[in-house]
Structure 1
């Protein structure tokens, strides 16, 4: 199948080597090697970065987090906005190292304290381990806003890809458990629906970076086996697209890519948020594929980055001082 990729992106596609998701150990090794060669964003002003451990779910290990604190950002008397961020990787890959440059950019350009969560991964730790780690990190952040310099009224959760799916589920958990109040949820190309029935998921079987065969592998690992598709009783916190009630959730920023299997589930979820009375900003980027935002030397990727930055500023009512 041919795809009408953005011309700048089309030149890059032949150079993309998909990670070997059929061998998770090999995929993790390849990701680690790729991460070591990623360019690192240079902040316009210093960003303090520190690693620490926070309490995990009851009976589980502590959760590693990486905290980004911008210096010189314009704060209110009650502090800076805060973002609890969950990395992507199909629930089986990923780490704070992989998204380090992205979070330096957010801390710098949005002027927000970012807490990056190193949640447990499948298949060793299937659902709900990663989700409960993520929620525990949110609860810890909300309980330490003064120490972190965060305005408790401007706390958000967000993530990309599988991290976007986790952020969606964390927002649902916070609502349903009476947990921390959230100012917004940032959902970048979110992975939301285990049923794999949308038109984009059915059509895009060979798209770069992410496609239906990869999605099948990752959902199987995350949900602990191959029998979950027939199960109508799967928890909505595992696959938030199954949630019937989206009322009472925080305002959302959602974006998707045209040639991404995840396109339709993100688009449908954004529409359902609006229908449930949730203020939602939605973007669909033509000619793009999963992860296009990372190709920062292209015009469309720069547009995507700018939209995310300004969307976070608006959602958090943040002013970075960088215009």
Structure 2
């Protein structure tokens, strides 16, 4: 029997008609797909007054973690800028620090934000807590180099899409539990939060339609979790497992009504509210997973991206800017 499910937005359905889709992944096909999971960053930077810097920070096991730092060129650093720390999507198994980077670069244009993007290690080569630990180390580096980066340490926002949204949520939990560093807000875009795949929306979008199916999600999680048993999976890896969602920063969550992650994302927002937290949730009718990144000019995508930016503008207004002049980034 076919499971009833929300239909796709008509414009998105038309745009997707000519796009080749796959509903399953394997370790063999992963090697073929990975090269196409990111786009070069240079075309996005062309014509923009952006200073780019590449750095590496050591992971807990000593492996270098690449970070890209994008700052407004020739910007006056009084007051110090907000910072968006970006974690890319790709199901934990593909993508790199330039994947979906056009999203936070819009906030560089809009707010003069410094954008830092992290190349966390991917599964199945890296499993368990390695990706979220990599991301947390990048966050510690940002906080420790705030003056050098020209950012206000009180206005650090963690953000990510899909797997990156799940990692951003895990990083926020880590920072809360370890007591450092301070995070002003988290932006979770279609976040991958729950390894269990037991929700109604997970069942509705088995075998598609869309770019991320239940089967692909199960494969991504199996690659990340490796040999971990259910009792060994920490909430920093699968944030939906967290018993306590209190004490987390202001949160923005958006998802599509026509995607696997819809129900785990809406549940996470509900649990944030139940814990006394502040969260804004948007479920875009007819949106499939990653619709606004794949088709940014579609009407629903433009609305989703603008709404996200408007929320960030409101949040930044509630945080007094540090008026201290800081040193501009080094070349």
TM-score (normalizing by structure 2): 0.88
Task: Tell me: CA distance 1:69–1:110, structure 2 relative to 1, closer, same or farther (3 Å).
Answer: same
Give 2:327's aligned residue: none
Q: Give the match's secondary structure for 1:106.
A: helix
Give 1:288's aligned residue: 287
Give 1:210's aligned residue: 212
Give 1:66's aligned residue: 68
Give 1:256's aligned residue: 255
**Matching of residues 80-119 of structure 1 within 5 Å:** 80-119=81-120
Q: Give the match's secondary structure for 1:288.
A: coil
Task: Tell me: CA distance 1:307–1:75, structure 2 relative to 1, closer, same or farther (3 Å).
Answer: farther
1:86-120 C-alpha deviation (Å, 9 max, x unpaired): 00111110102322333332321232111100000
Which whole-Å CA distance do the structure 2 matches of 1:21 and 1:76 have between them?
A: 50
**Matching of residues 32-71 of structure 1 within 5 Å:** 32-33=35-36, 35-36=38-39, 40-41=43-44, 45-57=48-60, 59-71=61-73
Which whole-Å CA distance do the structure 2 matches of 1:189 and 1:144 have between them?
A: 30
Which has the larger displacement, 35-44 or 95-104?
A: 35-44
Gaps of 5+ in 1: none
Which whole-Å CA distance do the structure 2 matches of 1:139 and 1:211 have between them?
A: 34
Task: Tell me: CA distance 1:66–1:20, structure 2 relative to 1, closer, same or farther (3 Å).
Answer: farther
Which whole-Å CA distance do the structure 1 matches of 2:41 and 2:138 have between them?
A: 26
Which whole-Å CA distance do the structure 2 matches of 1:69 and 1:212 have between them?
A: 38
Aligned CA RMSD, in angstroms, stands at 2.4
Q: 1:219 aligns with which of 199, 218, 221?
A: 221
Tell me, yes or no, if structure 1 residue 241 matches structure 2 residue 232: no
Which whole-Å CA distance do the structure 2 matches of 1:37 and 1:68 have between them?
A: 15
Deviation (angstroms), 1:310: 1.7
Give 2:326's aligned residue: none
Give 1:183's aligned residue: 184
Q: Could you list the runs of 4 or more consecutive aligned residues of structure 1 that deviate by over 6 angstroms after TM superposition?
A: none
Q: Give the match's secondary structure for 1:81.
A: strand
**Matching of residues 155-174 of structure 1 within 5 Å:** 155-174=156-175
Q: Give the match's secondary structure for 2:52.
A: strand
**Matching of residues 137-152 of structure 1 within 5 Å:** 137-152=138-153
Deviation (angstroms), 1:284: 0.7
Task: Tell me: CA distance 1:21–1:89, structure 2 relative to 1, closer, same or farther (3 Å).
Answer: farther
- Indicate if the aligned counterparts of 2:26 and 2:219 stay in contact, CA closer than 8 A: no
Gaps of 5+ in 2: 321-331
Which whole-Å CA distance do the structure 2 matches of 1:120 and 1:21 have between them?
A: 22
- Indicate if the aligned counterparts of 2:37 and 2:90 stay in contact, CA closer than 8 A: no
Q: Give the match's secondary structure for 1:289.
A: coil
Q: Give the match's secondary structure for 2:244.
A: coil
Q: Give the match's secondary structure for 2:188.
A: strand
Give 2:329's aligned residue: none
Deviation (angstroms), 1:22: 2.5
Give 2:324's aligned residue: none
Which whole-Å CA distance do the structure 2 matches of 1:266 and 1:202 have between them?
A: 15
Deviation (angstroms), 1:126: 0.5
Give 1:315's aligned residue: 315
Which whole-Å CA distance do the structure 1 matches of 2:103 and 2:46 have between them?
A: 11
Q: Give the match's secondary structure for 2:285.
A: strand
Deviation (angstroms), 1:149: 0.6
Tell me, yes or no, if structure 1 residue 12 matches structure 2 residue 11: no
TM-score (normalizing by structure 1): 0.90
- Indicate if the aligned counterparts of 2:57 and 2:64 stay in contact, CA closer than 8 A: yes
